[in-house]
Chains A and B, each alone.
Chain A
Amino acid sequence: MAPQASGPSLNDQVEALERSRRRLMIALVITILLWFVPQILDDLAPAALSHTLRSILVVLGMVGGLLWMGFMLRYNRFQRMVRNRPELRERLDDERIGQLRHQAVYRGWVALLICVAVGVAVAPFVTIPDQALLLTLLLVGVTAPIVFFLWLDRG
């Protein structure tokens, strides 16, 4: 229970891990945007894009997808490492973080509902390709809770 006498304290380790987790989450959001947004643009207006621009978007999407998978692997490794250190997990995933996760998931779900509602509202006036709609909903469903968590835990 008492603070450690020497070496990096548990709190220093926890704060370093908190920063790593935050950086990984930001990287996951950026890379999934890089992966999905070019595909959505391509689905929304394929005729408006030149062949060169479409090729660039395809490459960007592939790079984004590969980077996202890499960061996802790192995130899973991070979670496994934390799971194996109960004294760190207790502090890293404490009560406040649990509460922030619930709030972030709830707000993410509301954001997803708003997107669906907007889609339904504009559907009679605008033709949205199914693929673009599904990708957008998937993107919002994945990124919104992460972004809300990062925002709620901003300091």
Chain B
Amino acid sequence: MGHPELANRLKILRAERNWTQAELADRVGVSRKTINTIERGVFAPSAVLALKIARIFGVPVEEVFLLREAGDEE
């Protein structure tokens, strides 16, 4: 069995609120590039940053970030 990957629903949650990456970055207090790399799964945020993002969206952290087994499709 492969290592699980950290997937996220950032793009969907942003779209639901009509927020751009830059707007979300402003709210979270990071650069737009950081939001972009999290969204693409290039950068895995710390627990602190993940919780901060979830708080901004007003949802539990598991609704933003989830573990996906290698090969699984959402």
Chain A residues near B (Cβ < 8 Å): 1-4, 9-11, 14-15, 18, 90-92, 94-97, 99, 153, 155
Contact = CB atoms under 8 A, between A and B. Distances in A.
12 contacts: A1-B29, A2-B26, A10-B26, A11-B25, A90-B30, A91-B25, A91-B31, A92-B31, A94-B29, A94-B34, A95-B45, A95-B46
Interface residues of B, number: 16
Nearest to A155: B33
Interface in B40-72: 43, 45-46, 49
B23 interface: yes
Contact of B34 (A3, A10, A95, A155): A95
Contacts of B33: 15, 18, 96, 153, 155
B34 A96 contact: yes
- B contact face: mostly helix, strand, loop, or mixed: helix
B32 A11 contact: yes
B27 A15 contact: no
B23 A14 contact: no
Interface of B: 22-23, 25-27, 29-34, 37, 43, 45-46, 49
A1 B30 contact: no
Contacts of A4: 26
B29 A91 contact: yes
Contacts of A14: 31-32
B26 A11 contact: yes
Nearest to B52: A95
A95 B49 CA distance: 8
Given A9-B22, A95-B45, A2 B27 contact: yes
